[in-house]
Amino acid sequence: MKAVLINIFGGIVRCDLIADGVIGAVEEVGVDVRLLCDLRE
């Protein structure tokens, strides 16, 4: 796998909180691929 694409459509939860969760999960698991996030409210 070369990259992971994550599409987030906020509404109930703020996108910055979701982004913090994604960053925390990547650091905890140790993902070693490109991570692209599309955050929209």
Q: What is the pLDDT of residues 12-32, one digit of tens each?
A: 888 889 889 989 999 999 888
Hey, what are 29's tokens? 């698991």
Our measurement of the distance from residue 17's CA atom to the centroid of its chain's CA atoms, rounded to an integer in Å, reads: 10
What's residue 39's pLDDT?
A: 85
- Work out whether strand 34-40 and strand 3-9 pair parallel, antiparallel, or are unpaired: parallel
For the whole model, what pTM was predicted?
Answer: 0.69
SS3 state of residue 13: coil
Provide the number of structural domains found in the chain: 1
Residue at 14: amino acid letter: R
What's residue 27's pLDDT?
A: 92
What's residue 11's pLDDT?
A: 82
* Residue-range definition of the domain harbouring residue 12: 3-40
H-helix segments, 1-41: 15-29
Closest to 23 in 3D by CA, of 1, 8, 11, 9: 8
What's residue 24's pLDDT?
A: 93
